[in-house]
Amino acid sequence: MRSLRALRTIAPVTAAPLLLATAGLVHPRHLTAATAGHWAGLHIALLPVFPFLAVGLLVPLWGRPHRNGEGALTVLAWAGCLCYATYYSGLDAVAGISAGTVVDHGVHGAAGGLFRTGDELGRVGVHALAVAAVATCAALWRRHGARVLPGTVVLLAACWSFLDSHIFWPRGVFTMLGFAVGFVLLTLAAPRSGKTVSTAGSKTICPGLPRRGLGQGTRPGWSRHS
């Protein structure tokens, strides 16, 4: 039962990076007349997949944000994920689908400009994803303390590599695997139930603990999460 519960927890956050890593194994290294059809077709197939990479940041933050610093960080993370999904999809459409299509149809001189535009869109998207990752980890740090650090380090390293690796083999594939590992570490470190660690000096109790066990209800300085 515990293993099934863990699988249900990590499957949503690893699906996109693992699919992208698999696609990277068959992604052409260079765009040529011989690979153009495959290049464009692969990016058409991946168009709905790239945005879902951000799910790994959204799942640990699941829930309505509060009107405090943690809530502000959550909203910032959401905004970063939206910006990533928008701009990196632009890279996929311009440098992937469009560039592959023009080369496949023998249009000369257009691919270079499309790659430059796509690279600019991709950089904006990855920087937004990095901002979202930092905001997510900061919000989770406030809830769960230092146990989110391993996932934070792995995710920031993956974001740095993602800037110029895309999903190309070999580094791009390992970058996607890094995202998968980072998301798993972060999700397991930030369960939706169980004990919650506060870094603000407050004590911790288990959700669902009867209030009678605390004497006079919930005393100031204690936090109770559901």
Q: Is the pLDDT of residue 142 over 60?
A: yes
* pLDDT band per the 50, 70, 90 thresholds, residue 192: low
**6 to 50, 131, 211: CA distances (angstroms):** 24, 27, 29
* pLDDT digit string, tens, across residues 46-79: 999 999 999 999 998 887 777 888 889 999 999 9
SS3 content of the chain, % helix, strand, coil (to 5): 70, 0, 30
- The pLDDT value recorded for residue 95 is 96
CA–CA separation, 46 and 39 (whole Å):
11
* pLDDT digit string, tens, across residues 162-188: 999 999 999 999 999 999 999 999 999
Q: Which residues on neighbouring strands pair with residue 223, listed in sequence order?
A: 204
**170 to 25, 79, 167: CA distances (angstroms):** 8, 30, 8
Chain position carrying tokens 């992208």: 20
- The pLDDT value recorded for residue 6 is 56
* pLDDT band per the 50, 70, 90 thresholds, residue 206: very low
- The pLDDT value recorded for residue 143 is 85
- The pLDDT value recorded for residue 174 is 98
- Residue pair 147/187 in contact (Cβ under 8 Å)? The answer is no
